[in-house]
Amino acid sequence: MRWAEIGAREIIDIYNGARLGRLDRADMAIEPETGRIEELIVGTPGPLGGFGRSTEVRIPWSAVQQVGPQIVLVELTDPAGRSD
């Protein structure tokens, strides 16, 4: 599967059902020596519908459980992995 085929899939945390953002708006941290994706970095909208301070969620690639036709399911059992 190519990145362009992934499109606007919503990222959902199966731990609490939270919508974390869209995959096509996420950044990736890549290990330079191996080229492997280490984590997805998603900015969630601020409290005013996209305005104001947003929260950055770092999703380890190992937390990705399923990539479906419309959503990506991740399991973030440790809220400490989320930073403000």
Residue 82 within a domain: no
- Residue 23 pLDDT grade (very low, low, confident, very high; cuts 50, 70, 90): confident
Condensed to tens digits (0 to 9), the pLDDT of residues 24-58 reads: 888 899 999 999 999 999 886 666 655 555 678 89
How many folded domains does the chain comprise?
A: 1
Beta-ladder partners of 39: 29, 60
**Residue 46: CA atoms inside 13 Å, Cβ hemisphere, count?**
6
Residue 67 within a domain: yes
Residue 84 within a domain: no
Condensed to tens digits (0 to 9), the pLDDT of residues 56-79 reads: 889 999 999 998 989 999 998 755
CATH number at residue 37: 2.30.30.240
Identify the sign of the CA torsion 17, 58, 43, 23: negative
User: For the whole model, what pTM was predicted?
Assistant: 0.72
Beta pairing, strands 55-60 & 37-44: antiparallel
Percent helix, strand and coil across the chain, each to the nearest 5:
15, 45, 40
Q: What's the domain range around 44?
A: 3-77
